[in-house]
Structure 1
């Protein structure tokens, strides 16, 4: 009994509203740099790898991606709920990252491994199996990593700063991969061997960054389980009823997931419409650099607005404008490509601002839900919102691959006019239209800073927060 009292007193002595120092923020950010050695590699290159390197039919690839993404989306809330009920000396969420990142990196390599001497059926089942497992272990790492800020501090601006630093790390990883992936693939033999070896290089690069995150991120927020309503996994879904901050973020994430499908077309667009696959590498590098600028700027910009949703709405608006303009550029001319670089820089800036801001909004919904429903479930909320992201990805990426096949796409050949138009539309106009919907959802966001401060003050009065 005295041991429990001492532990409680010690926990209470910790400042749960701490403004974390820069080394701690950088340490946390290292985790998303490491995660993107898988996330960006898969998101940017897996569909192309499966269709043009593993030589799997595009419709089959679309089905493979859909099944894997749907599975990924389904296991998100399960992992989140399990993490919410985890109690260890390392915290709730940190041990999931600690013990899952090595298996994730192993399956990252296996997903980009194929053998052209196998039958297409064997290559398809191998691709499905490896990606299926990668999706699960990636969930175990990333959704718990995303939930950690809710336990690292209750200070809303510090949470946004963590998100800003995190996305700066993510965009740094995207910059590295955008510039280096095709170059490393070609330097290491090209084809299937080149892609496998590139996956090995990037997975090894991720290891020290994961270790830094685990070592430097400490969970200090304590939740009094005696004052938290005990609910089953199924009943947790009841906290979503009328929970508009969570619903609006889920809409934005669903939209961003759908946008990912459009972005799948970009490598095809640069390769076949522009006739230069390095245009993709170069513009994607610029996109990532500007994304870093946008993400890092959030730590300052968020202090200048009363509502984080406004910043997210502005970010999606910038993405929409630049994407729609890109639809109409003469991409085979030098002048058209120069403007294209500028537009992709704008899309990158908006993407960085949006992601850096929206990830910082997610932890605040934990207190809102705790106040509204009496259930603290940061992990569940994080995974539900990520569930919507992955549903959007599953539908749009699978749809993109199926659409190419239906329109007559042939890997490595001259494409017909309809396929070329679809590649352009999917890469640009489609992204612009989806971004407009996401902007509207975030402009309507009502959990502003004043409301959040009142919620936290009320929780403290009730003894539900320190």
Structure 2
């Protein structure tokens, strides 16, 4: 049965709420620790990574238990309904560190609430990813669903990357996080309501944990795609983690360009994210059309190669006092990033179908857990890699927002958000073309 437009769009809506937290944890936690709590950047990067590694441990368990859940609302909805509440509460608590505590107590507070928020995130994200393999088996329909998803995700990126930093400057991090929690909860709950009549698998899986994941790992094309998506995500996460520092030190508004007023009103960071989101939204329909025209894999490779070229151009443009020119480049970056955002998420459910077809067992939750593993590992590594890279170059922490940095430290930051991610993305392109393509051709033909 074909999905209605409302069901496709409704399914995509949930990602708006999910992505707000994803962007906040990638963009603001490291900066919050180093620029406002006075934690040395190397320690802050390690702490952020440690929490995200812990988060990965919960993925297989949530995937397993969601596959085995039986309720009148299906296997996925109960997890998502409760998980978004846990995620939101943890995010608010994360930025509510009481004043006057020692650094060790500050770290313990952040770790506890960050861990709670990531557990909630897993409770939402794993079942949500599993739904893409349950509610349709039509590859083109999945591309359309993912287009809607990434369109709403772009709005979430705008809120997490542009609105929350601006609110944080005016009202504080905790109040800013609290202000967006109704949107996060509402997006997930409205999505569940919109898809309540969509096709779903009611019968819980009976296979045990070991057998479930043995089936997943026997799908070699899927495993390779997971690894390559993790490589892509490492590049993007390094850019995201470094962007707040770039907005403070590498993109300085001269006050005399077309968007100087916007930069002054929103902050440079918020303006760059707004430009990025505009590009992403504009590109979504184009990536769907290109995927349907030349195939998802070909469209993804083209998008990543364009991303590599854009990052090279951005390296030559930084540091800059022309916020208008840099914002224009961020629009283009958002358009190329649209391929990374959308296409892998439309590919991996097709590989779920292969295992269900060959085994007769529906374990979409297990697939979703492993799919997110590569992404989460990359997101966990990126702050540590960036923190160690900047620390090696002599980066200085502060409690006042900015401090004079050495030329070497600034050069290290410049490479960390441009040339290094570009090289990582190019490695992913080679893997897609020469490792993944022949494996996928055999099972998806």
Does TM, scored on the shorter chain, surpass 0.5? yes
Contact kept, 8 Å, 1:74 with 1:387, in 2: the verdict is no
SS of the aligned residue for 1:328 comes to helix
Contact kept, 8 Å, 2:70 with 2:202, in 1: the verdict is no
When structure 1 is superposed on structure 2, of 405-414 and 384-393 the one drifting more is 405-414
Contact kept, 8 Å, 1:54 with 1:116, in 2: the verdict is no
1:321 maps to 309
Confirm whether residue 199 of structure 1 aligns to residue 182 of structure 2: no
Confirm whether residue 45 of structure 1 aligns to residue 22 of structure 2: no
Aligned mate of 1:142, from 118, 125, 144? 125
Aligned mate of 2:349, from 350, 355, 363? 363
Against the structure 1 CA distance between its residues 79 and 224, is the aligned structure 2 distance closer, same or farther, given a 3 Å change threshold?
closer
1:97 maps to 80
Confirm whether residue 264 of structure 1 aligns to residue 253 of structure 2: no
Shift of 1:328: 1.6
Aligned mate of 2:221, from 245, 250, 257? 245
Show structure 2 runs of 5+ residues with no match.
254-262
Give distance in 2, aligned partners of 1:330 and 1:40: 23
Q: Alpha-carbon deviations, 1:45-74, whole Å to 9, x = none?
A: 111111111222222211211111111112
Confirm whether residue 184 of structure 1 aligns to residue 167 of structure 2: yes
Confirm whether residue 445 of structure 1 aligns to residue 445 of structure 2: no
Q: Alpha-carbon deviations, 1:340-389, whole Å to 9, x = none?
A: 33332222111112211111112111111223455432111111011111
When structure 1 is superposed on structure 2, of 80-89 and 254-263 the one drifting more is 254-263
1:208 maps to 186
Give distance in 2, aligned partners of 1:296 and 1:440: 26
Give distance in 1, aligned partners of 2:190 and 2:218: 39
1:349 maps to 335
Give distance in 2, aligned partners of 1:177 and 1:382: 24
Against the structure 1 CA distance between its residues 180 and 50, is the aligned structure 2 distance closer, same or farther, given a 3 Å change threshold?
same
Aligned mate of 2:377, from 381, 391, 396? 391
When structure 1 is superposed on structure 2, of 353-362 and 137-146 the one drifting more is 353-362
Aligned mate of 1:280, from 269, 273, 280? 269
SS of the aligned residue for 2:164 comes to helix
Give distance in 1, aligned partners of 2:242 and 2:292: 36
Written as runs of structure 1 = structure 2, the 5 A alignment for 1:43-122 is: 43-122=26-105
Shift of 1:274: 2.8
Give distance in 2, aligned partners of 1:67 and 1:436: 27
Confirm whether residue 255 of structure 1 aligns to residue 231 of structure 2: yes
- Rg bigger for which structure? 1
Confirm whether residue 303 of structure 1 aligns to residue 303 of structure 2: no
When structure 1 is superposed on structure 2, of 262-271 and 157-166 the one drifting more is 262-271
SS of the aligned residue for 1:362 comes to helix
Aligned mate of 2:404, from 414, 424, 432? 414
Against the structure 1 CA distance between its residues 258 and 318, is the aligned structure 2 distance closer, same or farther, given a 3 Å change threshold?
same
Shift of 1:448: 6.7
Q: Alpha-carbon deviations, 1:213-247, whole Å to 9, x = none?
A: 1101135144777xx8x532123332344523212
SS of the aligned residue for 2:316 comes to coil
2:420 maps to 430
Give distance in 2, aligned partners of 1:90 and 1:330: 51
Give distance in 1, aligned partners of 2:429 and 2:327: 23
Confirm whether residue 312 of structure 1 aligns to residue 300 of structure 2: yes
Give distance in 1, aligned partners of 2:186 and 2:251: 38
Contact kept, 8 Å, 2:11 with 2:191, in 1: the verdict is yes
Contact kept, 8 Å, 1:318 with 1:346, in 2: the verdict is no
Give distance in 2, aligned partners of 1:450 and 1:239: 18
Show structure 1 runs of 5+ residues with no match.
1-14, 189-193, 455-466
Confirm whether residue 331 of structure 1 aligns to residue 338 of structure 2: no
